Amino acid sequence: MRVLVTGATGYVGRAVVCELRVHGHEPVLSRQRLSEPFDLSGVDAVIHLAGAARVRESFLDPLSYYETNVAGTLNLLKALEGQRFLLASTAGVYRPSDSPLTEESVREPSSPYAATKAAAEDLVAWAARSGRIGATTLRLFNVAGGGDADTSRVITRAVACAAGTVPGMEVYGDGTAVRDFVHVRDVAAAFVVALEACSVGESSVYNVGGTPASVRDVLSAVAEVTGRSVDVTWQPAHPGEVRFQRADVSRLLALGWKPHFTSLTEIVRDQWLASAPAPGPGPSR
């Protein structure tokens, strides 16, 4: 298939482009802004990864987030007729729960960013129901590994601290809050599996995660892999902090998805090898 990839030069986008090529598809790298008209007559599918994705920033400028993430998705959908459309969404659309989250769990976005993703999900689902497209939404949990450069992410930040490339990290709360992590290459594999299963007129949703761990688990794994401790400044927990977030990925596994990085240590080690082949001195243990 000939597949347009928005956000193709980004962290997840680069991995998706590589995975598409491995499986014999032809990725088309979009360099258009989402506000511009699209001519998608020459592609079989779209994987939509581009968008604004900073949770805290979205509280300061919610209108621009709606303009980019919702209106931008709508602009793409207007150019499609009879093709497949895959949307990158977020686990942030879910209401917090002490139980593993399934695709049927209640949506209750807690930020403007997550709210824009929920709105985009609805757009693509209704477009599929009309028969215009085939739609698949992938709700990504905490993507990590593969040389991620975004040090706002916990694994990336902790590894960078161990490498000595950033001075330290702040942890809010006692470090026992659990998050669900997934390697970026396993995310890319999920997009390809979902692409090949997508059918016009149908709409599907899949969780993409599978490796739950606390912040303290991450710090311990980084120390184990790198032989270096992480300089942490402990801060009071944010009000309303989600204490537990875990993905039920049984639906994606049943589709044929086979993740290769299934332990926290593997994900941390890959981030360390990819981003710090010649690490600085870092803090000593």
d(CA 111, CA 210) in angstroms, rounded, equals 23
For CA atoms 222, 224, 228, 230, give the dihedral sign.
positive
d(CA 215, CA 180) in angstroms, rounded, equals 11
Q: Is 66 among the catalytic positions?
A: no
Return left, alpha or beta for 230; rule: phi > 0 is left, psi -120 to 50 is alpha, else beta: beta
Q: Which of 11, 66, 113, 206 is catalytic?
A: 113
Find where tokens 């992590």 sit. Answer: 181
Alpha-helical regions (H) of the chain? 11-22, 55-60, 62-66, 72-78, 112-129, 154-163, 184-197, 215-226, 250-255, 264-275
d(CA 180, CA 213) in angstroms, rounded, equals 6
Burial class (CB in 10 A: 0-12, 13-18, 19+), 172: middle
**Residue from 236, 256, 207 nearest 97 by CA:** 207
Decide if 112 contacts 59 (C-beta within 8 A).
yes
The answer for residues whose C-beta is within 8 angstroms of residue 119's C-beta and 6 or more apart is 66, 69, 70
Residue 93: what residue type?
A: V
Burial class (CB in 10 A: 0-12, 13-18, 19+), 67: middle
Residues catalogued as catalytic: 113
